[in-house]
Amino acid sequence: MDEQKPTEIVELRVSYRYIMAHPWVVHAIGGFLSAYFMEHPEFRVQRHQEELESGAHLWICEVPASMKVLRLLKRLKEDIPPCQVQQTTTDLLAAPSYLIDSPE
């Protein structure tokens, strides 16, 4: 019988500014997340969408509670152009949210 492991929802957002500087990065991140799923089947991308108001892209991911999201982001940063990643969640009850943006 399969045991359900605790999971959490994490949002990965890429800014419009970063996408405009590197248009191919949306496909690269999608491919990276698909490959990450192949390595860690308990990781899932629930949804990918473009936010019409801001032009940003958002991936809503389901990750095991034991998974270190910062490790995933560190590996992702090795595959895309230089960027900064900042956690944007301020509410402790909200899903952790990370913004990938152009370096200052």
Question: Could you give the domains of the chain?
Answer: 7-101 (3.30.70)
Alpha-carbon distance of 96 to 8, in angstroms, equals: 9
Q: What is the pLDDT of residues 6-49, one digit of tens each?
A: 889 999 999 999 999 999 999 999 999 999 998 989 999 999 99
Tokens of 52: 């019409």
Per the CB < 8 A criterion, the answer to whether 102 and 17 are in contact is yes
Whether the per-residue pLDDT at 1 is higher than 60: the answer is no
Whether the per-residue pLDDT at 5 is higher than 70: the answer is yes
Whether the per-residue pLDDT at 83 is higher than 50: the answer is yes
Q: What is the pLDDT of residues 44-71, one digit of tens each?
A: 999 999 999 999 999 999 999 888 999 9
Predicted pLDDT at 29: 97
Whole-prediction pTM value?
A: 0.88
Predicted pLDDT at 89: 74
Tokens of 68: 């270190």
